[in-house]
Amino acid sequence: MSGARRGQGRVDRRRRLRRDEHLRSPDFFNAQEFPEITFESTRVEAIDEDSSRVFGNLTMHGVTREIKLEVAIQGTDIDPWGNTRAGLEVVGKLKRSDFDMQFNQALGSGNMLVGDKVGVSLDISAVLQS
């Protein structure tokens, strides 16, 4: 007997909508009270020709903290409108507790449902200024 299984390729949108609604609730982002997340860079440290570290203030959930992001330039090209465009891959880490996000639930194993450490990953297409 094969280990392969068949199933329908569908997504339970109700489950995803409930999850997204919970993330917007006061348990997590509290989007009604804090509708914006902002990042303002304060300094850039070049690592080499294609990578750098960007430091800046992230404001989320009513709390501002300095974070560090690693930036890698994936390439540049001219877009259809004549602009020079750069592709950037940005990664970083933060702790939910640093932004006063405390919600959690214990699992039957004793582990917690939500970890404190969060990975940040951004793929950016930026138009360079002349």
Helices (H) and strands (E) in the chain, counts: 1, 5
- More reliable by pLDDT, 22 or 93: 93
Q: What share of the chain has pLDDT > 90, as a percent?
A: 56
- Is 80 part of a structural domain of the chain? yes
* CA distances for 1 relative to 4, 8, 80, angstroms: 9, 21, 54
Task: Please tell me the pTM assigned to this model.
Answer: 0.76
- Is 59 part of a structural domain of the chain? yes
pLDDT at position 11: 57
Nearest to 100 by CA among 66, 63, 56: 63
Please check the confidence at residue 10 and state whether its pLDDT lies above 60.
Answer: no
Asked if residue 127 lies in contact with residue 84, where contact means CB atoms within 8 angstroms, the answer is yes
Pair of tokens at residue 43: 């300094």
Read off the pLDDT of residues 36-82 as tens digits, 9 standing for 90 and up.
999 999 999 999 999 999 999 999 999 999 999 999 999 999 999 99
Pair of tokens at residue 80: 């259809």
Encoded amino acid at 115, one letter: G
- Is 95 part of a structural domain of the chain? yes
Q: How many domains does the chain have?
A: 1
- Is 97 part of a structural domain of the chain? yes
- Is 82 part of a structural domain of the chain? yes
pLDDT at position 102: 83
- Is 17 part of a structural domain of the chain? no
- Is 117 part of a structural domain of the chain? yes
- Poorest-pLDDT segment among 11-25, 46-60, 91-105: 11-25
- More reliable by pLDDT, 117 or 2: 117
- Is 6 part of a structural domain of the chain? no
Please check the confidence at residue 9 and state whether its pLDDT lies above 60.
Answer: no
- CATH number of the domain where residue 87 is located: 2.40.128.110
| DSSP label at residue 112 | B
The set of residues, in sequence order, having a beta carbon less than 8 Å from that of 71 and lying 6+ positions away, is 51, 52, 53, 54, 88, 89, 90
Q: Find the mean pLDDT for residues 1-9.
A: 46
Q: Which residues constitute the domain of residue 46?
A: 36-127
pLDDT band of 130, cuts 50, 70, 90: confident
